[in-house]
Amino acid sequence: MSNYDGFLTAISKLLPADQVRRDATSLETYGQDWSNLLSPNAKAILFPANTEQVSQILKLATEYKQTIVPSGGRTGLSGGAVATQGECVLSLEKINFIGPIDTLSQTVTVGAGAITQAVHEATAPHGLTWPVDFASKGSSQVGGNISTNAGGVRVLRYGSTRNWVLGLTAVTMDGTRHTLNGSLEKNNTGVDFKQMLIGSEGTLAVITEATLKLCPIPRSRLVFLFSLPDFASVVRLFQFARNKVKQISAFECMDEACFTVTCQHLNITPPLKEAAKGYVLLEVQNESFENSEAWLNEIFEKQLVTEGLMAQSEKEAETFWQIREGIAESVLAGHEVHQEDVSVPLANLGAFYAQIHSRYTQEYPHAEIYFFGHIGDGNLHIFIRKPKNLTKEAFIQMAHESDLKLFETLAKFEGSVSAEHGIGLLKRHAIHFSRTPAELAIFRQLKKIFDPLHLLNPGKIFEP
């Protein structure tokens, strides 16, 4: 039984008053994430300033049996950082230091609350970057990126976040501070605990610091925007480009609905003349146009695309990227949206899309549905806006029913119910489509070892 009052009294002796908030706005803001479909119900928001304070807070939480939700930039889309059950939110935003850039080992140590884009800005003058990159980078935090093993627009070239983390400092619920792997590139001394924490969505420990691996910023990039006759051509174009081009750094696709709503929302004049069924943004690194000319000609000869533009300036390249990166924000703006984030092996993508697209259009002819994704990774996002005439409850029910059909199809195509956004609360009912009972049993045992009283991010990923 939680003793919240006792916990709060103890916390008020530990933290200065400005590191604890209980006003309605803070409870609402910090209790919620971008998924915005669940009602927040946080009791208090705590803002530790260092690892030692995190350790003391977690020790007290264990003593008073107070549940805790670790919170980063709250850009998550699966409800992982939402406090729905009277938890105290532990915001890492004050632990946001960015240490000196080590240009010899190409690493940097940062606080978990460092904003992703701030890390990019700090490393850029050294010709280096942390290649974890997506539209929410201006708000998301390194701790959140690591806890969700974030993907994004560079996975095709660099892989997901877990490839770019060398070491972690993390605290378990008993208050123990663990320094995992430091800045070692090689360390084969048994199970890598740091990798167990990456992608565990704050259910095992609170990450307070990370040593990140950096890579050189590419010398140059070419950015193309293509329109395509249909989705089947998206996969064919990718196959063609992959065979011809060495350094594809992004291959992103969107349907007509995404393209239109984003250009409207961001007030961008559509760069391509004709509307099309599908669009692809292709980015190639460190390659000259002379090399590209031949394969570009071939793309048109083979009628893989109907129209195409190569960005003529960095500004134009930015505009192409703005359209791609603005999709989620534009679809979500002012709407309640059910989001799917699935992946299938690339070989199955065309057939999978054809099957689900035809079902969605038949079953939900009046719903606004948006398809886009990191197609080079086999990752498709499906966003469904709540129709105005449906209540939130009816919409969630509709979305759940639709989900089950989607996940059954997905299982046939050997896919995953969460490609990159995680399970959180919103995909919990679907985890068994992608993980076996034996795997889930091991996960539950791990949870018991790290958090025996089930106080840390309770109910996330699986039911307590």
Residues near ligand FAD (CB under 6 A): 33-34, 69-77, 80-81, 92, 112, 134-136, 140-141, 143-145, 147-148, 150-152, 201-202, 206-207, 328-329, 420-421, 424, 457, 460
Smaller CB distance to ligand FAD: residue 79 or 350? 79
Provide, rounded to whole angstroms, the least separation between the CB of residue 177 and ligand FAD. Answer: 13
Q: With contact defined as beta carbons under 8 Å apart, do 361 and 404 qualify?
A: no
CA-CA-CA-CA dihedral for 100, 106, 108, 112, to nearest 10: 160
Integer Cα distance of 15 and 13 in angstroms: 6
First to last CA, the chain: 15
Q: How many CA atoms lie within 13 A of 33 on its CB side?
A: 27
Q: How many CA atoms lie within 13 A of 272 on its CB side?
A: 24
- Given the structure tokens 């984003």, which residue do they identify? 262
Pairing of strands 107-111, 68-71: unpaired
Provide, rounded to whole angstroms, the least separation between the CB of residue 389 and ligand FAD. Answer: 26
Smaller CB distance to ligand FAD: residue 33 or 340? 33
* CA atoms 71, 73, 79, 84: torsion sign: positive
Provide, rounded to whole angstroms, the least separation between the CB of residue 116 and ligand FAD. Answer: 8
Smaller CB distance to ligand FAD: residue 202 or 415? 202
Provide, rounded to whole angstroms, the least separation between the CB of residue 184 and ligand FAD. Answer: 21
- The residues, any chain, with a CB within 8 Å of residue 319's CB and separated by 6 or more, are 268, 271, 311
Smaller CB distance to ligand FAD: residue 305 or 332? 332
Smaller CB distance to ligand FAD: residue 236 or 324? 324
Concatenating the DSSP letter of every residue in 400-414 gives HHHHHHHHHHHHHTT
Q: With contact defined as beta carbons under 8 Å apart, do 92 and 47 qualify?
A: no
Smaller CB distance to ligand FAD: residue 307 or 336? 336
Alpha helices in 245-313, H assignment, sequence order: 256-266, 289-301
Integer Cα distance of 148 and 162 in angstroms: 9
Smaller CB distance to ligand FAD: residue 81 or 165? 81
Smaller CB distance to ligand FAD: residue 148 or 211? 148
> Coil, helix or strand for 93?
coil
Provide, rounded to whole angstroms, the least separation between the CB of residue 136 and ligand FAD. Answer: 4
The structure tokens listed for 167 are: 């070491």
Smaller CB distance to ligand FAD: residue 334 or 365? 334
Best CA proximity match to 74, nearest among 202, 160, 177: 202
DSSP state of 455: -
Provide, rounded to whole angstroms, the least separation between the CB of residue 341 and ligand FAD. Answer: 8
Chain position whose Cβ is nearest to ligand FAD: 144
Provide, rounded to whole angstroms, the least separation between the CB of residue 273 and ligand FAD. Answer: 28
Provide, rounded to whole angstroms, the least separation between the CB of residue 97 and ligand FAD. Answer: 14
Provide, rounded to whole angstroms, the least separation between the CB of residue 251 and ligand FAD. Answer: 13
